[in-house]
Amino acid sequence: MVKNIYGHLLVTAIVTDERICFLVIKNRYGGLGLDRKIKVNIDACLSKMVTAETVYNKYGAVIIWENTEMDGMAISRLKDFGVEDLLIYESILPVMKRQSEEKPSVQVEAGEKNVSFAEVYEKDTDEFKTILHDLSVGKADSLNKTVQIVNSVYSRKNDHSEIVDCITRIRKVDEYTYYHCINVSLLSMMIGKWMKLAPDDIYMLVQAGLLHDIGKSMISPEIINKPGKLSIEELAAMKNHPEYGYHMIKNLKGIDARVSDAVFHHHEREDGSGYPNGLQGSQISQFAKIIAIADTYDAMTANRSYKLKDSPFRVFDLMQNGCFGYLDPVILETFLSNISHYYIGYKVKLRDNRIAEVIYINKQQYGKPVLNTVDTYINISKAKNLSIEEVL
């Protein structure tokens, strides 16, 4: 560290979770010396760099503001919009590499970087399908194999665009449970990142998301896959799955009490209307609240044996306006405000069968974005009898 005669810190090092050590240079008064700008290729951008320009998409909507301290999500977002170069302030420069001490560590197999996210996603789902099958026939030791899937999911913690794309496009009705558990683990991980939780907490959220419905392996497949409405008796049996799951994992080595609690209480609701214990508000753990939001979103955007899926924008609308009293409002706002922006640039099909592109997200109404068609712009929030039916 270097200080001036007034004791103000001028030079210090910052170690990031990206295994890079940065030199931070301040001016003579101790403030950040944000004066010189340099252009950096997007592939060379790193976390902790500070943007020296506001970047817009082709329709004039802001992608990232000037003076934003970048992280992996911001860099991925810029790449998604085709940004090739970016002005940054030279006050923060990488000076050396360092081994990360972040825990838990995740082993990445050789060559994995060359494997597409979709391939890893399908592989993890197939492996989880095998685990659930083994559990249903009494092979309890199969639960120990879930750690490999948790590590695989956690290793992709910065691939938010790819995660959203897979969750949106890859849906198989007859294998809903397997994809759902993988999706909830991925969504919970992203929520944890957006909430700026500690790495250990995010890792445990991945575990909780993957295992949240593990108790369904103890319920009859006829009930799980029934195409029609469940009877009162069948519904009562289905509602036992959180408790079954809790007892299956609570004594497993490597499972934190917060993980088993989230599995037990992910169907609790803020107003006490949930199950199995009718907990309310602060009685529900943060992990359980996060899993509840991820679980609800994925279930509503998936084709089921008894209903067709809703579009993400329809679900944004329902969750923003119809979940008051059910889901934690602060965590829900964090989720909706972040995930909705990943759909900018997506093509959608409208109720009148026109195809349009999402160009702007309306924060007051996440489910009603501004669209661009071949010949006009459409603000869905002001368009009567027009809605987004499908994301293409």
Look at the block and give the residue holding tokens 């992910």.
Answer: 266
User: What is the pairing mode between strands 20-25 and 92-97?
Assistant: antiparallel
Q: Given this model, what pLDDT does residue 22 score?
A: 42
Nearest to 150 by CA among 108, 203, 111: 203
| pTM higher than the cut 0.75 | no
For each of the domains in the chain, give its residue range(s) and CATH number, in order of start: 1-33 (no CATH), 36-89 (3.90.105.10), 115-309 (1.10.3210.10), 342-391 (2.30.30)
Over the stretch 167-210, which tens digit does the pLDDT of each residue have? 998 877 778 889 999 999 999 999 999 999 999 999 999 999 99
Residue % of the chain over a pLDDT of 90: 54
d(CA 173, CA 307): 10
Give the tokens for residue 102: 């972040």
Phi/psi of residue 89, nearest 5 degrees: -80, 135
pLDDT tens profile 321-374:
998 889 999 999 999 999 999 999 999 999 999 999 999 999 899 999 999 998
List of residues 6+ apart from 283 with CB closer than 8 A = 268
Contact 47, 158 (CB under 8 A): no
- Residue 339, class by beta-carbon neighbours within 10 Å (0-12 exposed, 13-18 middle, 19+ buried)? buried
Mean pLDDT of 236-254: 93
**With contact defined as beta carbons under 8 Å apart, do 299 and 292 qualify?**
no
